Structures are given as C-alpha cells and as structure tokens.
A and B are shown apart, each in its own frame.
Chain A
Amino acid sequence: MKYTVNNKGYYGNFGGAFIPEMLYPNIKELENNYIQIIESESFQKEYRDLLKNYVGRPSALYKATRLSEKYNTNIYLKREDLNHTGAHKINNCIGQVLIAQRLQKTKIIAETGAGQHGVATATVCALMGLECIVFMGKIDVERQQPNVKRMEMLGAKVVSVESGSKTLKDATNEAFRYWISNPDSFYIIGSVVGAHPYPDMVARLQAIISEEIQWQLQETIGRNYPDYIIACIGGGSNAAGAYYHFLDNERVTLISVEAAGLGVDSGKSAATTVLGNTGILHASKTLVMQTKDGQIIEPYSISAGLDYPGVGPLHAHLYETGRARVQNASDEEALRAAFLLTKLEGIIPALESSHALAALEKNNFLPNDIVVVNLSGRGDKDMETYIKYKDSF
C-alpha cells in the first residue's frame, strides 16, 4: 500500500492539514470517524443502494470499437457520463452526505467551479432534505448560468464570491471561511483536495469506479486489470477513483492528463505538475501554481473543471514517484478529441473528459493493449463552447 495516506495525512511528501485552529474540531471529528463510517455495514448498504438505484450504477464499461480501430488498440470507456447529474461527482456527494448525516450535520456547504459539483451537491441535498449553500466565483456564476439555475431549482442557495480572482480557488476559500464561522455545517469538498482526511475520503468514495472496472474487465476479457488507465485531472477525483484499486498493481500504467490551456508556455494554462512547485493550497501541501513569492496564480483552461491551480496530494505523490505518467492536452487538442468521439461513437463528452481522450493521440498503444479511458462526464454543460467551435474541427 505504497500510495495510501499515512496516519499523519501524508502521501509521501504531500498532504497534511494546514487548517486554522478554528477548524481543528471539525477536521478532527471527520478524521476520527470517516473510515469507520465508510466501512460500516449501514453506510455501505445505503451508499450502494443509492449508487445503484438513484445514480444508475454500475456505469457501463463500453468497448469503443470505431475509436479502437482508429488507434489500432482496445479502448474501453468508463461511462461516468451516464450517472445521474452527468458526471462522477455524484459518487462523492452521495458518500459525503451520508457521512454528514451520521455526524448529525444538517447544513451542507460546497464550492463549485463549472457547477458540476455544485449541482451534484444540491441534488443529494434535495434528496435528503438538507439545507445547501454553494459558493461559486462571480465569474463562474456569470459564465455557467444554466448550472446556477439548476442548483437554485434544486433548492440550493448559490453565493456569488467576489473575493480574489472570483473563480474556483476563491469559491473554495469562501467555503472555508463560511465553515470557520459556521462550524456546525458540513463541507462537501468536490475533489481529492483540501485538508486530510478529505483527499483520502473522496478517493475512497470515488473508488467505486475502479472497483467496477475490475469486475467488468474480468467479465469481458477474463482479466481484472487493463494495461492503461487514462483520466483527466483538475483536483484529481475522477482519476483517483479510476486508479484506486490499481495503484499497487504496477502492470497498470496510469496516465493523468492536465489541461494545458493555450499551451504550457503561454501563460494561460492549468498544467500544475509542469508549472507548479511544492506549496500549500487549501490546507494541503501539494504541487501549486504560484509566483516565486508564493502567491497563487490564477490558472486557465477552456474546461472550468480543470481550471484549478493545484492537484490533490495523491497526484503530486504519484507524479513525484513516477507511478503516474502526467501529460497534458491543450484546449484545441481537447476540442479535437471531443468532436472525434462524437463523430465515431455518438458520445458527446464533457470538456474535462475530452482532455483524457486527447491523450490517445499522444501515446503508442499495442494492438493487444487494453486501454480504459475514464469518461468522467457528459458534454451537455459544454454545448455553448462546442457550438462555438463546431466549424473549426
């Protein structure tokens, strides 16, 4: 278990809980209880039941025949896009809300960038009848209106964040500030980021993805692991979930794809492992995009879900140890991959997931290789962007 968190909350050199003292009791309570809750029979029963009957799991592992032909290999798509609310985010939200209930918390808060995690959180709060506040940067509120309206229709209060650069990192800061002032609330973080135990807790709740990949591959190819898994990383939760059961199986090559934006050297990028260095962001020591003075840099990607100036500490560790190959895809490469998948397979992917698909161009696979691409979400939310570029690809 080289890649699991240690008892201090670290993955190798990364992780920890750099929280102000005001949050200590909350984080401690969670740390003391999360594993026990997740492993309890009552949690598992409810979690599995909701994943099956509410989210619609297991999500299909689909052999993309025409895409496989094009790349002369065997490509399987893990269809997280088919989940209720359209992405992998809901796996985590269901799990965390069940944990919140077991800790007697009735008010839920969350941050969101594009709005996917916000919508997933608002959805489970509607389901459970819990109060929900979602923090969203003012700029994101303006450019993601349909998701704002969805959250509001689901009964959530959306707070437009005016501080800092008014995007995801500031929404996260504001959620932390609210949590400091309202310690009775429960903060559902949307990725494998933040103070320990969040990265490990979120990874465990997304691990359902790799658990299913194991048995689905066993059923279809008679072997319970692939040669490659490809996933995009913003904070890294869909990747963490897709990798989880394969982390110690070195026969599986893990390919993490970051958003290069307009290019890693363009000054408009979100390729954290290339552009970042070790620092502390949102209470975790990890790779961070920052100035030499330690001020956080606002990243850029066409995909709002990958537009984050850090990666989860697990991914910093996988990168540093060489366990994962970290690559990146530009806006243009991601768009090209999205249009290709749509044309060949009739699936419109989320822009985030398109970055993972773009890696198919950048690696040489053998005809016998089994390549799983984690299709983390569907493209409905990105239609405006796709329409804008439809004649360019």
Chain B
Amino acid sequence: MNRIQQLFSEKKDTILSIYMTAGYPNLHDTATVIQELQKAGVDMIEIGLPYSDPLADGKTIQDSSTVALQNGITIEGVFNQLRSIRKTVSIPLLCMGYINPIYQFGFESFCKSCKEIGIDGVIIPDLPLWEYEEKYKTLFESYDISVIFLIAPQTPQERVLQIDKASNGFIYMVSSAATTGSKMDIDNEQIAYFARISNMNLKTPRLIGFGISNNATYKKASEYADGVIIGSAFIQAIQKSDNLSDTIQSFITSIRTGK
C-alpha cells in the first residue's frame, strides 16, 4: 500500500489536496511550499511540473507555469529540489505534468526518480487510458506509483467503469466541462453529475477538482466525494505573498473553516 492508498483507507473526513506549481513563485520555493502545506494540515499535494503548452489549464496555472519556466525549473530540477523532502514531509505527494516533458525525461527514469524521492502518484492529463494500459501500466506498477485518471461530466458511464477498474489511487473528477480555474460556483447540473457518479458505487475513491476555490465549494463538493482538489485558487493566493508560511496557513484555514 502506498501513501495515497493508505490515506484513503484511513481518513474518513474530507480530504484536501492542493495543486502547486513547482518552481513558483520563486525557483527555490518548491520544498518550502510543500512543507508549509503539510504544516497547514492538507492531506495530499500535487506538484505541478510546468509545461510550455498546458492544454488543459486555464490562465492562472498557465501563467504560473510560464513564470516557473522563466525561473528555470525543469523536471530534473524539481527532483533535485525534492531529494530530501521525505525527511520532513510524510503526506502523499503526486506529480502532475503533461506527457511531453516526461516522455523526454524518459518514463523509466521518471518512475525511478519518483520512487527514490517518495512520490506516490502521477497525474498526466494528456496520457490516455489506452496508451497507459498498452505501454506504461507495467512500468508504473513495478514502481508502485499510482496513476490517476480524470473523469468529466460528459464521460460515458461504461468509460467511468473502465477508468475505475484501471485506477489504484483515486479518480480525479473534473467538476465541469472546463479547463482549470474557470468556474467558481457549483450549480445544479454539476450536483446531478456528482450524485450520478457517487451512486455508481465505484471501487476507487474520488476527489473533485477544477473550480473549487473557497469554503462553500469545498463543503458542497465534499458531500459527493472523498474530498477536493484546489489549484488555481491556491496559486492566486500565493502569487503575491511576501510570507508564504502565513499566506498558506490562512488560505488553508479559510478553505477548511470559511474563516
């Protein structure tokens, strides 16, 4: 059992996972942000690996990626920054990145580095299920790294079942037909979709992400899933921070409690 599976099997109340962009706001903030997030009580962290052409991301995450790339971040650089992260951080860590930089790094080396560092899972939004099963499944499994797949409101029922079967960590439920950070409310249509998936009794736990930005949306979404993922709202909160520790603490408190 890796840390992700352990978290979902043990924790019963709402799981909060935060997406952060590596190398942002400054090149050497990666480890600090992770440590501060753990301190603030988040349950899991997705470390975004910046890409020049992030097709599924809205403006906030695009812009943070651009800044991080200008700062000089690379996958190798992220891994170097995280070499000793497991001395201080015990919550599950994932990498979220587009396939091309990982492909250039080499999937095998990528898995090996993740394992060495203690990365428990990956989210590659443009790695389709078929490619994964055909070419990469054996590799990721041999390193005990969970590969997380997305589902969206328009995902057909039989495909949700297929994804459930292929998953061994959690399912990332995209909250609406949108890129990251686009929508900041939860409407009835989304609730119907959350409920529909919830009633499918999937074997894999689910987190809801995209557009979760405050205590209200956090609470609403968590009624229908094991927890939520917040990305753009967090990036916005830290982009102008002059004290990451305070900013992160108060952001997480406001999400959890509304205060």
Give the B-binding residues of A (Cβ under 8 A): 8, 16-22, 24-25, 163-164, 169-170, 173, 176-177, 180-183, 278-283, 288, 290, 292-296
* Contact between A21 and B151, CB atoms less than 8 A apart: yes
- Please tell me if B182 contacts chain A, counting CB pairs below 8 Å: yes
* Contact between B52 and A296, CB atoms less than 8 A apart: yes
Contacts of B163 in A (CB 8 A): 21
Q: Which of A8, A182, A293 contacts B75 (CB 8 A)?
A: A293
* Contact between A295 and B101, CB atoms less than 8 A apart: yes
Give A21's nearest chain B residue, CB to CB. B150
Closest 10 CB pairs of A and B: A294-B104, A294-B101, A21-B150, A295-B52, A20-B56, A22-B152, A293-B74, A18-B126, A294-B100, A20-B125
* Contact between B155 and A25, CB atoms less than 8 A apart: yes
Contacts of A163 in B (CB 8 A): 59, 62
- Please tell me if B149 contacts chain A, counting CB pairs below 8 Å: yes
A368 to B232: give the CA distance in the assembly, Å: 64
* Contact between A294 and B152, CB atoms less than 8 A apart: no
* Contact between A183 and B52, CB atoms less than 8 A apart: no
- Please tell me if B217 contacts chain A, counting CB pairs below 8 Å: no
Contacts of A20 in B (CB 8 A): 55-56, 125-126, 150
A295 to B177: give the CA distance in the assembly, Å: 27
Using A21-B150, A177-B58, A183-B177 as known contacts, say yes or no to A296 and B125 having CB atoms under 8 A apart. Answer: no
Using A180-B56, A290-B104 as known contacts, say yes or no to A295 and B51 having CB atoms under 8 A apart. Answer: yes
* Contact between B155 and A280, CB atoms less than 8 A apart: no
Give the A-binding residues of B (Cβ under 8 A): 51-59, 62, 66, 69, 74-76, 98-105, 125-131, 149-152, 154-156, 159, 163, 174, 177-179, 182
* Contact between B178 and A176, CB atoms less than 8 A apart: no
* Contact between B177 and A296, CB atoms less than 8 A apart: no
Contacts of B76 in A (CB 8 A): 293
A79 to B35: give the CA distance in the assembly, Å: 64
Q: With both chains docked as a complex, state the minimum distance between the C-beta of B152 and any C-beta of chain A, in angstroms.
A: 4
7 A-B pairs within 8 Å (CB atoms) are namely A22-B150, A25-B155, A173-B53, A180-B179, A279-B104, A280-B98, A283-B55
Contacts of A183 in B (CB 8 A): 154, 177
Give A283's nearest chain B residue, CB to CB. B126
Using A18-B126, A293-B101 as known contacts, say yes or no to A173 and B55 having CB atoms under 8 A apart. Answer: yes
Give B130's nearest chain A residue, CB to CB. A8
A163 to B55: give the CA distance in the assembly, Å: 11
Contacts of A294 in B (CB 8 A): 51, 75, 100-105
* Contact between B53 and A169, CB atoms less than 8 A apart: yes
Using A22-B150, A295-B51 as known contacts, say yes or no to A17 and B75 having CB atoms under 8 A apart. Answer: no
Give B69's nearest chain A residue, CB to CB. A295
A281 to B54: give the CA distance in the assembly, Å: 10
A182 to B66: give the CA distance in the assembly, Å: 25
A180 to B130: give the CA distance in the assembly, Å: 20
Q: With both chains docked as a complex, state the minimum distance between the C-beta of A37 and any C-beta of chain B, in angstroms.
A: 21
Give B126's nearest chain A residue, CB to CB. A18
Q: Which of B53, B102, B131, B178 contacts A281 (CB 8 A)?
A: B53
Q: With both chains docked as a complex, state the minimum distance between the C-beta of B180 and any C-beta of chain A, in angstroms.
A: 10
Q: With both chains docked as a complex, state the minimum distance between the C-beta of B240 and any C-beta of chain A, in angstroms.
A: 20
Q: With both chains docked as a complex, state the minimum distance between the C-beta of A105 and any C-beta of chain B, in angstroms.
A: 14
A173 to B102: give the CA distance in the assembly, Å: 19
A282 to B51: give the CA distance in the assembly, Å: 13
Contacts of B126 in A (CB 8 A): 18-20, 280, 283
A293 to B97: give the CA distance in the assembly, Å: 13
Q: Among A20, A25, A170, which residue has the most Cβ atoms of chain B within 10 A? A: A20
Q: Which of B53, B125, B127, B155 contacts A164 (CB 8 A)?
A: B53
Q: Which of B55, B100, B178 contacts A288 (CB 8 A)?
A: B100
* Contact between B103 and A279, CB atoms less than 8 A apart: yes
* Contact between B159 and A177, CB atoms less than 8 A apart: no
A290 to B103: give the CA distance in the assembly, Å: 12
Q: Which of A17, A18, A180, A280 contacts B177 (CB 8 A)?
A: A180
Contacts of A288 in B (CB 8 A): 100
Contacts of B156 in A (CB 8 A): 25
Contacts of A290 in B (CB 8 A): 100, 104
Q: Which of A17, A18, A22, A173 contacts B174 (CB 8 A)?
A: A22
* Contact between B128 and A17, CB atoms less than 8 A apart: yes
* Contact between A279 and B100, CB atoms less than 8 A apart: yes
* Contact between A164 and B179, CB atoms less than 8 A apart: no
Q: With both chains docked as a complex, state the minimum distance between the C-beta of A369 and any C-beta of chain B, in angstroms.
A: 41
Q: Among B51, B58, B103, which residue has the most Cβ atoms of chain A within 10 A? A: B103
Give A288's nearest chain B residue, CB to CB. B100
Give A177's nearest chain B residue, CB to CB. B179
* Contact between B100 and A281, CB atoms less than 8 A apart: yes
Q: Among A169, A288, A295, which residue has the most Cβ atoms of chain B within 10 A? A: A295
* Contact between B182 and A25, CB atoms less than 8 A apart: no
Q: With both chains docked as a complex, state the minimum distance between the C-beta of B132 and any C-beta of chain A, in angstroms.
A: 11
* Contact between B102 and A181, CB atoms less than 8 A apart: no
Q: With both chains docked as a complex, state the minimum distance between the C-beta of A322 and any C-beta of chain B, in angstroms.
A: 24
A365 to B103: give the CA distance in the assembly, Å: 41
A378 to B177: give the CA distance in the assembly, Å: 40
Using A18-B127, A281-B53, A283-B126 as known contacts, say yes or no to A292 and B104 having CB atoms under 8 A apart. Answer: yes
* Contact between B56 and A16, CB atoms less than 8 A apart: no
Contacts of A173 in B (CB 8 A): 53-55
A18 to B103: give the CA distance in the assembly, Å: 12
A378 to B103: give the CA distance in the assembly, Å: 39
15 additional contacts, CB 8 Å, given A180-B177, A278-B103?
A: A17-B128, A21-B129, A21-B155, A22-B56, A22-B177, A25-B156, A164-B62, A170-B53, A173-B54, A180-B55, A181-B177, A280-B126, A294-B100, A294-B101, A295-B52
